[in-house]
Amino acid sequence: MIKPHGSEELMPKIVNTDEEKAALLESAKTMKKIKVSSAAAANLVMLGAGYFTPLSGFMDKKDVLSVANEMKLSNGLFWPTPVVNLTSQKIDFKEGEQIALIDPNVDEDQIIAIQTVNKIEKLDTDDIDHIIKKVFGTNDKEHPGVSTFYDQGNTLISGNVDVLNFSYFEKDFGETFRTAMQIRSSIESKGWNNVVAFQTRNPMHRAHEELCRMAGERVNADGILIHMLLGKLKPGDIPADVRDSAIRTMVEHYFPKDYVMITGYGFDMLYAGPREALLHAVFRQNCGCSYLIVGRDHAGVGDYYGAFDAQDIFDEIPSDALQIKIFKADHTAYSKKLNKVVMMRDVEDHSKDDFVILSGTKVREMLSNGESLPKEFARPEVAEVLMKHYMQD
């Protein structure tokens, strides 16, 4: 199986034994505490679950600037996005201390991790503007990822972490949430050597379904990993539990048995387009996948990125930066001429009117009105799951 990024084996930061966890929680009673942002909590879940191998904790200013400018840590390891604990809260602890990190997404001040504080550094306005521009390609606060980064504060707390739990993800998504270790183990137990990963934050319509099928066939995959984001999205996106149900329904009805693994991961969407596509590749490599499907406007939002910027960036990084390969996908849609889903670039004789294409707004409008989606666009079983959600709203 493909090796994890920058390591011979996964390096999860989750505390493994009940004894060690109990000891840390006992020690935490006398520690200073700080409630982290949702973004930092999501980073902790990813560190704990092995997805961010080989990172051991939150980056300091030197690493953050190096990642922003050159997409690598100061030690030279390829890494595309900052992994930070930023705060605007008053600091009452010193460098070298251990602090307890409080989860903002769970009630009753649950401690999600213990951090050994390496450095406490200030980012000035120019630093933050520069980092955001490099990572997101824009400083426009209408961009949801940019807005989230600005809102976190300017005090950077770096250092190694010991993660105590996976926040709300195991409880709320017990059937779906999986660590990188669990996914690797499942792939190994199935005897798969060549796995294609599909990233999604949306329900899967027929175009997505066919894209997975095409990619699997073209790279001769043993199986497909459908890996859905379970964390914070932007307003208007479909909730994770509804997406989960829709995707499971599609796989059950339209894929061969034991060919698709449905899993989810606990992370908040960055909407960072090309940089986030690279990050997606890092943690799919850590899951043991050989390929990641990167489609049109992967991890994008609005009109901030070109349609294929997220593919092109893979041609700009050093060839040895990642072991995982990408499957470059065009927009897929149902062809009225051919009566099947196709990749648009494969049918040069088609005009826009030859395809069945619905905007997200139109889909939401139809579902809210109780209208059936065209069978060429969505499987009826999937459309029914989505319609129930919209009719309830």
- Tell me which residues are annotated as active site: 201-202
Please name the helix (run of DSSP H) or strand (run of DSSP E) that holds residue 335, with its range, or none.
Answer: strand 332-335
Of 165, 62, 184, nearest in space to 113 by CA: 165
CA atoms lying within 13 Å on the CB side of residue 288: 24
Distance CA 339, CA 341 (A): 7
Query: In terms of DSSP H, where are the helices of 5-120?
Result: 18-28, 38-48, 61-70
Distance CA 311, CA 329 (A): 9
- Those residues whose C-beta lies under 8 Å from the C-beta of residue 293, and which sit 6 or more positions away, are 196, 197, 198, 199, 211, 212, 215, 326, 327, 329
Asked if 228 contacts 36 with a C-beta cutoff of 8 angstroms, the reply is no
Distance CA 149, CA 134 (A): 13
Distance CA 206, CA 332 (A): 9
Distance CA 130, CA 126 (A): 6
Residue keyed to tokens 């319609």: 387
Please name the helix (run of DSSP H) or strand (run of DSSP E) that holds residue 38, with its range, or none.
Answer: helix 38-48
Residue keyed to tokens 């997406």: 243
Asked if 167 contacts 106 with a C-beta cutoff of 8 angstroms, the reply is yes
